[in-house]
Structure 1
Amino acid sequence: MTQESGIQYEPVAEIGGGAYGTVYKARDKQSGQFVALKSVRVQTDQEGLPLSTVREVALLRRLEQFDHPNIVKLMDVCATLRTDQETKVTLVFEHVDQDLKTYLEKAPPPGLPVSRIKDLMRQLLCGLSFLHSHRVLHRDLKPENILVTSRGQVKLADFGLARIYSCHMALTPVVVTLWYRSPEVLLQSTYATPVDIWSTGCIFAEMFRCKPLFCGESEVDQLTKIFSVIGLPSEDEWPTDVTLSRQNFCPQSPQPITDSVPEISEEGADLLLVCLFHIHFLKAKWETLGTLGKLCH
């Protein structure tokens, strides 16, 4: 972890903002290469950075050794002491000009051809399989966190950063989209890799629909919209470690997925159902990595 990020990297333009702060396009003064800077303020004690942050950064740096084509490159990590209790950590990533959200918006009517959707999905699943095989959850998959290069290469970004950002988020009022969150995350139940599979399914549907699949305005509203499609889980399937009762929702049966995504093919509908029913509390029958591995090849 290097010091004094401002010396080596010169901000050029603000390229995004959100719950975790502002993202800048910057130029590496030594190489002239463009990079993306993402900074977060981390609370520290007398011994420096919290161990959790050091651990997460070390994991991200270790993944760089594999140089996976569908994972955005973390090029540098810089730390600048702001006060005795706070340190600014800046993550330096390779810069990609557009995300999947922008890519989909640019697609002329009637949207992306099926062949292109297949290719995007294959790359997305390969990147996700790589993360999961190294025990990394993305936790916040959405079109804005999936980059698409000018050559059509998909790169997952912002993976594994949830715990790095947790201190910052505890101190900052934030608005995070719920549209790609799985039911167990919305219910604040225990979760694992299937939460990323759920998000991938929502994104897959959006590639066909050219608009999000579930657009809730609150956790309960999001769950209501989800259950209107996949059906309300039974009492036996409802998680026991949550405060929100099943009685908060009206009984509903699963609806044909083609009602929500009429543009999708039969093969695509099968894959979408794997993603949407691959959630922990519905006792899905598929093994996450095994399913992804088959889909990647």
Structure 2
Amino acid sequence: MAPEMDFAAVLDFLRRNGLRHCESALTEELIEKSRSGFHKLFLPMPPPPLIITPANQKPPPRESTGGEWSSDCSSDCEFVTAASSDSTSNIIRSSSQAVSDDSGSPSSSKFSTARDCPVSGMQNDQFFWCKYDSNDENAMPPETGGCDFAGNLGEDKFITSVPAIGDSLMSESYKDYSSPPHPCHDDLKAENVCYVKYVKSEHRDETTPDFSPKKDSDNALAADEIIDCEPNNDEVLHRDEDYEVFDLRIIHRKNRTGFEQHKELQIVLNTIVAGRYYVTEFLGSAAFSSVVQAHDLCSGMDVCLKIIKNDKDFFDQSLDEIKLLKYVNKHDPFDEHHILRLYDYFYYKEHLFIVTELLRANLYEFQKYTQESGGELYFTLPRLQAIARQCLEALLYLHELGIIHCDLKPENILVKSYRRCEIKVIDLGSSCFETDNLSLYVQSRSYRAPEVMLGLPYDRKIDLWSLGCILAELYSGEVLFPNEAIVLLLARMIALLGPIDLDMLQRGEETNKYFTEEYDLYYIDEETNEVEYIIPDESSIERHLHIFDSLFADFLKYLLEINPMRRPTVKEALMHPWLRHTYGEI
């Protein structure tokens, strides 16, 4: 009689708590098992609830050996890091140097009160404690003692669609070896995991779990429902191939909430960012970011901090840059392909920070400096040859990974060594995979390929066009196609390189903006609103740039082929005779 008494108690509990669906499901299951010869009903064991410990409380003790909490996580910890995973986070100790953190004044280093927020629960996020692990492999700078991460490249971890915590239900590639498990997850086993959907009870205000199956006739899902279907193995494998994830550390001061006083981050020299990076020099700014030089107090290296402006679109674009830098760095462990190295990234004071290796000036600024200072000409043909070869090798590497840079220009090529004339390609924020939905608005205007201007489909060869424009600019000291109206740029291309193929004009989605029905260039004067026809003056690359080296001139025209079908690939460009010509020492 014991089984019946237990069953009655369970039914009574479910009935008193309004779990009518569970009561019905258990009754049906008992009847079914009774017909099959079973005389005892085994109830599934749901997982224990997650124990969330706020950051301002001491974490619960650990009973297992080897799982003691680090003594470093004491009340004097200055910053808390919240990782993007729900069960992992790190605590970063602030530097003990006698330097102010983040700003020169006490007021600028504090969070202000929260701005008005329509959701009441948005201001008090809970953060998890975790054991400090010196073997964390989630970041990329050299290994140093006492830092929050160590020195190996973090592998991208793939998402599985199994909503379970037990290790046996996780794919091997998903397990996060860089962070210790949350203490409340240690006792969870695969057999204790069940699939739960949360629905609103008809008799109770709070959310209650419902273990009943989903009705097929109910096509529309409510906003607060989670599908409780268990995916099959084929679906899991397919999703493993399609998705990947990386952790974004969120660093903030302990026991503080609210928005910053200013939307834009105030950059102050001789202050410490996120308890680790000592700002030493302001390097410059661009449309959506500022760049400073900093000293990494953990690794001892000088690094470059790229501070993304507080804007949703800029943030999303920079996440793409992080994804691509991680991807290309992972496939280039020995730094052989002239691409910028990513060291770290994190979110701090409402801004995304990207930490990279520190390089020298970009080619635009360096050429401008040499011209204004009246010093010795730097961009000689031997050095241009070295720069062209390194850029092509970088593009070859990107293209073999299926990536189009999409914004190659002198500002995005930085000098690594002046004496050896070594460069690196940077800024993958506008880059894309060839399989992406390609945008019509790519490349800076002066380095934009004609097929992009005309609204034609494009591919990796647009990077070759940009490189040709860059080499011509470095040789002459002037922009080959100045930043003017598109129609004027097209006229200049026709004058220097010859007419555009009729097939390209017929297929271009943007052709009618610049050409008449007879394919004559026209321009509408904004002041008089009159149509003006443009007749390009015929010239040539050699005459315009005053090039006396025939091999170099041929190489430029090779890259600046208007029709992308005749423009070379990177491999073909690397075989050009000019790159094999010997000029002597640089």
TM, length-normalised to structure 2? 0.42
> Greater share of strand residues, 1 or 2?
1
Deviation at 1:294, TM superposition (A): 2.7
Aligned match of 2:453: 186
The answer on 1:291 being equivalent to 2:566 is no
The answer on 1:98 being equivalent to 2:367 is no
SS at match of 2:326: helix
1:38 to 306, 311, 314: 306
Structure 1 residues 26 and 53, CA, compared in 2 at 3 Å: closer, same or farther?
closer
Separation in 1 of the partners of 2:312 and 2:474? 39
Contact 2:496 2:538 in 1 (8 A): yes
Separation in 1 of the partners of 2:299 and 2:288? 27
Contact 1:42 1:89 in 2 (8 A): no
The answer on 1:153 being equivalent to 2:437 is no
Separation in 2 of the partners of 1:124 and 1:25? 25
Structure 1 residues 283 and 142, CA, compared in 2 at 3 Å: closer, same or farther?
closer
2:549 to 258, 265, 268: 265
SS at match of 1:72: coil
Deviation at 1:266, TM superposition (A): 0.7
SS at match of 1:101: helix
Aligned match of 1:57: 322
Identity %: 26
Measured on the aligned residues, the alpha-carbon RMSD in Å equals 2.9
The answer on 1:116 being equivalent to 2:400 is no
TM, length-normalised to structure 1? 0.79
Separation in 2 of the partners of 1:55 and 1:20? 14
Structure 1 residues 187 and 264, CA, compared in 2 at 3 Å: closer, same or farther?
farther
The code of the aligned residue for 2:459 comes to A
Deviation at 1:177, TM superposition (A): 5.1
Separation in 1 of the partners of 2:504 and 2:456? 12
SS at match of 2:553: helix
Contact 2:410 2:470 in 1 (8 A): yes
Deviation at 1:132, TM superposition (A): 1.4
Aligned match of 2:408: 141
Greater CA drift, 17-26 or 176-185: 176-185
Structure 1 residues 55 and 283, CA, compared in 2 at 3 Å: closer, same or farther?
closer
Structure 1 residues 228 and 177, CA, compared in 2 at 3 Å: closer, same or farther?
same
SS at match of 1:155: strand
Separation in 2 of the partners of 1:289 and 1:112? 22
Contact 2:461 2:568 in 1 (8 A): no
Aligned match of 1:276: 560
2:482 to 215, 218, 221: 215
Separation in 2 of the partners of 1:258 and 1:109? 23
Contact 2:277 2:295 in 1 (8 A): yes
Deviation at 1:288, TM superposition (A): 1.4
Structure 1 residues 287 and 59, CA, compared in 2 at 3 Å: closer, same or farther?
same
Q: Which has the higher contact order (CA 8 A, sep 6+)?
A: 1
Separation in 1 of the partners of 2:484 and 2:566? 31
The code of the aligned residue for 2:486 comes to E
Separation in 1 of the partners of 2:431 and 2:280? 28
Contact 1:111 1:208 in 2 (8 A): no
The code of the aligned residue for 2:414 comes to L
Separation in 2 of the partners of 1:101 and 1:12? 23
Contact 1:189 1:239 in 2 (8 A): no
Contact 1:198 1:275 in 2 (8 A): yes
SS at match of 2:483: coil
Separation in 2 of the partners of 1:63 and 1:177? 23
Structure 1 residues 8 and 190, CA, compared in 2 at 3 Å: closer, same or farther?
farther
The answer on 1:2 being equivalent to 2:270 is no
The code of the aligned residue for 1:232 comes to P
Deviation at 1:123, TM superposition (A): 1.3
Aligned residues: 272
C-alpha deviations, 1:76-117, integer Å up to 9, x for none?
A: 1223473xxxxx322211111211123323273555332122
C-alpha deviations, 1:213-243, integer Å up to 9, x for none?
A: 1113232332222222123314322152423
C-alpha deviations, 1:147-178, integer Å up to 9, x for none?
A: 112342110011x21169xxxxxxxxxxx952
Deviation at 1:56, TM superposition (A): 5.0
Deviation at 1:135, TM superposition (A): 1.5
SS at match of 2:459: coil
SS at match of 1:98: coil
The code of the aligned residue for 1:91 comes to I
Contact 2:318 2:429 in 1 (8 A): no
Contact 2:415 2:423 in 1 (8 A): yes
